Amino acid sequence: MQTIAKAAAALDGGAKSRGLIEQSLARIADKSGEGGRTFLKVHAEEALVAADFYDRLRARGVAPSRFAGIPVSLKDLFDIAGDVTTAGSIALRDAAPATSDAPAVARLRAAGFIPVGRTNMTEFAFSGIGINPHYGTPLSPYDRKSARIPGGSSSGAAVSISDGMALGAIGTDTGGSCRIPAALCGVVGFKPTAARVPTEGAFPLSTSLDSVGPLAASVACCAILDCILSGEPVVPLEPFPLEALRLALPQTMVLDSVEPAVAQAFESALSGLRNKGARITDIPLRELDELRGINAKGGIVTAEAYAIHRPLLAKAEKTYDPRVLVRILRGREQDAADYIDVLKARADFTRRVRAITSPYDALVMPTVPVLPPRIAEVEPDEAYRRTNMLVLRNPSIANFLDGCSISIPCHRAGDAPVGLMLFGVHGSDRRLLSIAAAVEKVVSPGGLE
């Protein structure tokens, strides 16, 4: 996979943006690849025009940034001026086109990144599996002939990176939707602190938990995109010394039901970090057992999703993916008192967990406990429900705590994809990215160009 920094260096050295965009579009159009399931709309003509424009600007020394002309993909729930935002659904196909870009999209454009199209996703972003019955399901790059899930909900975003259709992708993460597909497709996915990047212009799932984050080939790529999305100057990450790193590994819940291949890759990664001087401490963190009870009626996400979808359900309920619909309708089980109770429980839980974890730089755990299962294995309702809860289990902790989190590939080159996940506290995004960059150098399978 090519990194954003390498592409920018090539452009500085005389390479043409048009060449990058043509390569991206060729991979999307390749009939033997996943482009047809990964992209719901391709902006080929607009992307080529933009590439030529930036090539002319660069020739005159006035490009808006060194990243001008680099292709990115956008999850289908972001508003793009002139496009209908369908959020992976057919219920919104007749909606009015957006009149302006979402702030996240506008910031990318201002830096010169070129959107090549809208990527597929779980309908309305409400699943960690990545299956979409309306538009097809892009396949994980692992063992592709066996048709394995990509993870969700930012399924197309992850596959657009793994297959070289874009060098950066913008997704959303409400309970793991950037990090789960990153782990199951062998790329990096970053979930920032929720308030860090504006969510306006992105079709919401849960206004309390939604966050906008990047997926890319490396931590450094995600750090570049994070700066742009958050409206900060693009600056290099501060080096983080591994010999000073203090990680906490919870022993409650997060290591349950871990498949042997995931356990082996994860333990090997931890061993490599210890050999470099990192201190990794097992902590009980029994508080995690409380989450099931706190969210027994569906929690914050179902209450808010039902409130958001109630008007649309009144006229288009029959068009919803039944697997998504059943989760949204759980919001009817809560009344105002239930919702207030969950908000209070969240605040109390966050306070107590932060006190316990404050001596450490980050928490560490497997992103998901399983390798990408075959789509056919998870299509039955019970298998879908069970697998969905399993892949969401670990990543959703960071959303509930309103922290930041990143998934980094930690498998050996050529093996099935496994993600190592780091959690940082609220607002520690750049510090967590610095830690992740140091960790990546030890655990990454390599393969970056």
pLDDT exceeds cutoff 80 at 447: no
What residues pair up with 6 in beta bridges, in sequence order?
A: none
State pLDDT tens for residues 208-237: 999 999 999 999 999 999 999 999 999 999
Considering the candidates 24, 75, 127, 444, report the single residue annotated as catalytic: 75
Report the C-alpha gap between 443 and 438 in whole angstroms. 9
Q: Is the pLDDT of residue 152 over 80?
A: yes
* Burial group, residue 411, by CB count within 10 angstroms (0-12, 13-18, 19+): buried
The structural domains of the chain, ordered by start, are: 1-286+356-449 (3.90.1300.10)
Q: Whole-prediction pTM value?
A: 0.98
Q: CB burial class (10 A; 0-12, 13-18, 19+) of residue 233?
A: exposed
For the question of residue 6 being annotated catalytic, the response is no
Catalytic one of 89, 153, 160, 396: 153
Whether residue 446 is predicted with pLDDT greater than 90 in this model: the reply is no
CA 188, 100, 174 angle in degrees (round to 5)?
35
328 vs 285: CA distance, rounded Å: 30
- Mean pLDDT across 140-153: 98
**Do the beta carbons of residue 189 and residue 420 sit within 8 Å?**
no
> For 289-316, how does the pLDDT look when each residue is reduced to its tens digit (9 = 90+)?
999 999 999 999 999 999 999 999 999 9
434 is known as an active-site residue: no
Which pLDDT belongs to residue 261?
98
Name the active-site residue from 17, 89, 177, 407.
Answer: 177
Q: Which helix (H) or strand (E) holds 299?
A: helix 299-316
Mean pLDDT, range 124-141, rounded to an integer: 98
pLDDT tens digits, 231-288: 999 999 999 999 999 999 999 999 999 999 999 999 999 999 999 999 999 999 999 9
Burial of residue 76 (CB within 10 Å: 0-12, 13-18, 19+) is buried
With both helix axes pointing from N to C terminus, report the angle between 219-229 and 103-110 in degrees, rounded to the nearest 10. 110
Neighbour-count burial of 266, counting CB atoms closer than 10 A to its CB (0-12 exposed, 13-18 middle, 19+ buried) = buried
Establish whether 268 is a catalytic residue: no
* Cβ atoms of residues 442 and 269 within 8 Å: yes
Which one, of 360, 386, 373, lies nearest residue 285 by Cα? Answer: 360
Q: Using one digit for the tens of pLDDT, what is the confidence trace for 392-439?
A: 999 999 999 999 999 999 999 999 999 999 999 999 999 999 999 999
